């Protein structure tokens, strides 16, 4: 194992509905807030993993089903159980910052990890590896570091006949 305990990175570790066995993490700098369940408005013709649009402090937030995005599966048919929380994150698509959110299970926690740490294979091979920076071993557990910047570059885009859409980047 290669470690350097002189420097550390701060991650928020969490798990998500529909993929509870997979421990995920996001750099703490990308996390804006964890909030109670949000009112989500469905947006027709959005990518399949997009649950809809919501507001956070008066600003629009795209709410996604992260499990569906990571696995390429269908979004949850029951995406709004009362016990869930939502993680609000900042991401950059192209050159523009955007706010996105997704449901998480309770029990998320901030953790300090050595900046040099052993990488690990993704525990579920069916995952879309583009949406992970890496997977790491931490205290015997595999944690996937989520890469939100590529979420919306994923090929699962909706082509809309009659609508010409300029490229984002």
Under the rule (CB under 8 A), what is the footprint of other proteins? Answer: 39, 41-47, 50, 53-55, 58-60, 62, 93, 96, 98, 100, 152, 157-163, 165, 168
Q: Which residues contact 103 (CB under 8 A, 6 or more apart)?
A: 16, 17, 37, 65, 66, 79, 80, 81, 84, 85, 86, 87
Q: Which is nearer to other proteins, 28 or 92 (CB)?
A: 92
Q: Least Å distance between CB 158 and other proteins? A: 6
Smallest distance, other proteins to C-beta of residue 107, A: 28
Residue closer to other proteins, measured from CB, 124 or 168: 168
- The smaller minimum CB distance to other proteins, of residues 123 and 150, is found at 150
Nearest distance from residue 29's CB to other proteins, in Å?
Answer: 20
Q: Report the C-alpha gap between 17 and 1 in whole angstroms.
A: 31
- Extract the runs of DSSP E, i.e. beta strands, from the chain: 8-16, 19-27, 31-35, 50-56, 59-64, 85-93, 96-104, 109-114, 132-138, 141-146
The least CB distance from residue 87 to other proteins, in Å, is 17
């Amino acid at each position: 194992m290669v470690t350097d305990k002189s420097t550390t990175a701060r991650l928020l570790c969490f798990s998500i509905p529909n993929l509870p066995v997979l421990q995920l993490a996001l750099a703490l700098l990308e996390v804006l807030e964890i909030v109670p369940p949000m009112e989500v408005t469905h947006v027709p013709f959005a990518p399949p993993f997009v649950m809809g649009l919501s507001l956070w402090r008066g600003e629009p937030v795209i709410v996604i089903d992260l499990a569906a995005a990571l696995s390429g599966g269908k979004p949850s048919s029951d995406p709004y159980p009362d016990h869930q929380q939502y993680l609000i994150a900042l991401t950059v698509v192209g050159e523009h910052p955007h706010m996105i959110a997704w449901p998480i299970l309770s029990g998320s926690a901030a953790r300090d990890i050595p900046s040099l740490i052993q990488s690990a294979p993704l525990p579920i091979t069916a995952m879309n590896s583009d949406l992970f920076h890496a997977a790491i071993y931490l205290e015997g557990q595999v944690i996937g570091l989520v890469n939100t910047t590529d979420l919306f570059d994923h090929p699962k885009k909706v082509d809309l006949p009659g609508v010409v859409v300029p490229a984002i980047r």
